[in-house]
Structure 1
Amino acid sequence: MAKTKELSKDTRNKIVDLHQVGKTESAIGKQLGLKKSTVGAIIRKWKTYKTTDNLPRSGAPRKISPRGVKMITRTVSKNPRTTRGDLVNDLQRAGTKVTKPTISNTLRRQGLKSCSARRVPLLKPVHVQARLKFAREHLDDPDEDWENVIWSDETKIELFGKNSTRRVWRTKNTELHPKNTIPTVKHGGGNIMLWGCFSTKGPGRLIRVKERMNGAMYREILSENLLPSARALKMKRGWVFQQ
Structure 2
Amino acid sequence: MGRGSPIPPMLRRKIEEQYQKGVFQRNIAKSLKLSSSTVHNIIQRFRESGTISVRKGQGRKTILDARDLRALRRHCITYRNATVMEITTWAQEYFQETLSVNTIHRAIRRCRLKLYRSKKKPYLNMIQKRRRFLWAKAHLKWTVAKWKTVLWSDESKFEVLFGKLGRHVIRTKEDKDNPSCYQRSVQKPASLMYEFHTGSVEARVNNDRHRRALDLQGAGGNWATVGRRSRGGRRVRRQREKRKGKSVGLRIGTLNVGTMTGKGRELADMMERRKVDILRVQETRWKGSKARSIGAGFKLFYYGVDSKRNGVGVVLKEEFVRNVLEVKRVSDRVMSLKLEFEGVMLNVVSGYAPQVGCELEEKERF
TM-score by length of 2: 0.36
User: Using a 3 Å threshold, how does the CA distance of structure 1 residues 44 and 92 change in structure 2: closer, same or farther?
Assistant: farther
Render the CA deviation track for 1:145-166: whole Å, top value 9, x for unaligned: 69946654412467xxxxxx82
Spell out the pairing of 1:6-17 with structure 2 (5 A cutoff): 6-8=6-8, 11-17=11-17
Corresponding residue SS for 1:155? coil
CA distance in 2, matches of 1:75, 1:99: 17
Render the CA deviation track for 1:18-59: whole Å, top value 9, x for unaligned: 31222466886798642275132453499437xx7x688899
Match in the other structure for 1:48 = 51
Match in the other structure for 1:67 = 67
Whichever residue aligns with residue 4 of structure 1, its letter is G
Match in the other structure for 1:79 = 79
User: Using a 3 Å threshold, how does the CA distance of structure 1 residues 99 and 12 change in structure 2: closer, same or farther?
Assistant: same
Cα offset for 1:175? 4.5
CA distance in 2, matches of 1:120, 1:33: 64
Whichever residue aligns with residue 119 of structure 2, its letter is R
Whichever residue aligns with residue 180 of structure 1, its letter is Y
Root-mean-square deviation (Å): 4.8
- Which range moved further: 149-158 or 62-71? 149-158
Corresponding residue SS for 1:169? strand
Q: Does the CA-based 8 Å contact 2:171-2:181 persist in structure 1?
A: no
Greater relative contact order (Cα 8 A, min sep 6): structure 1 or 2?
1
Spell out the pairing of 1:1-243 with structure 2 (5 A cutoff): 3-8=3-8, 11-23=11-23, 33-35=35-37, 37-41=40-44, 43-44=46-47, 47-48=50-51, 63-93=63-93, 94-108=95-109, 110-131=111-132, 137=137, 148=147, 152-156=153-157, 166-171=167-172, 172-175=174-177, 177=179, 180-186=182-188, 188=194, 190=271, 191=273
CA distance in 1, matches of 2:117, 2:145: 31
Cα offset for 1:107? 3.5
Whichever residue aligns with residue 127 of structure 1, its letter is Q
Cα offset for 1:82? 0.9
Corresponding residue SS for 1:86? helix
User: Using a 3 Å threshold, how does the CA distance of structure 1 residues 173 and 157 change in structure 2: closer, same or farther?
Assistant: same
CA distance in 2, matches of 1:45, 1:145: 87
Q: Which structure's residues are more often strand, by fraction?
A: 2
Quote the sequence identity (%): 21
Whichever residue aligns with residue 129 of structure 2, its letter is V
After TM superposition, the runs of 4+ consecutive aligned structure 1 residues lying more than 6 A away are: 55-60
CA distance in 1, matches of 2:77, 2:8: 48
Corresponding residue SS for 2:80? coil
Render the CA deviation track for 1:156-192: whole Å, top value 9, x for unaligned: 467xxxxxx8211134345562563244342657346
Q: Does the CA-based 8 Å contact 2:80-2:170 persist in structure 1?
A: yes
Q: Does the CA-based 8 Å contact 1:113-1:170 persist in structure 2?
A: yes
Whichever residue aligns with residue 43 of structure 1, its letter is F
User: Using a 3 Å threshold, how does the CA distance of structure 1 residues 13 and 71 change in structure 2: closer, same or farther?
Assistant: closer
CA distance in 2, matches of 1:47, 1:24: 19
User: Using a 3 Å threshold, how does the CA distance of structure 1 residues 119 and 184 change in structure 2: closer, same or farther?
Assistant: farther
User: Using a 3 Å threshold, how does the CA distance of structure 1 residues 26 and 147 change in structure 2: closer, same or farther?
Assistant: farther
Greater Rg by CA? 2
Whichever residue aligns with residue 170 of structure 1, its letter is R
Corresponding residue SS for 1:154? coil
Render the CA deviation track for 1:79-122: whole Å, top value 9, x for unaligned: 21111112222222313444445534544454533222334445
Could you tell me which runs of 5 or more consecutive residues in structure 1 were left unpaired when the two chains were aligned.
159-164, 193-243
- Which range moved further: 12-21 or 149-158? 149-158
Q: Does the CA-based 8 Å contact 2:120-2:185 persist in structure 1?
A: yes
**What is the aligned length?**
180
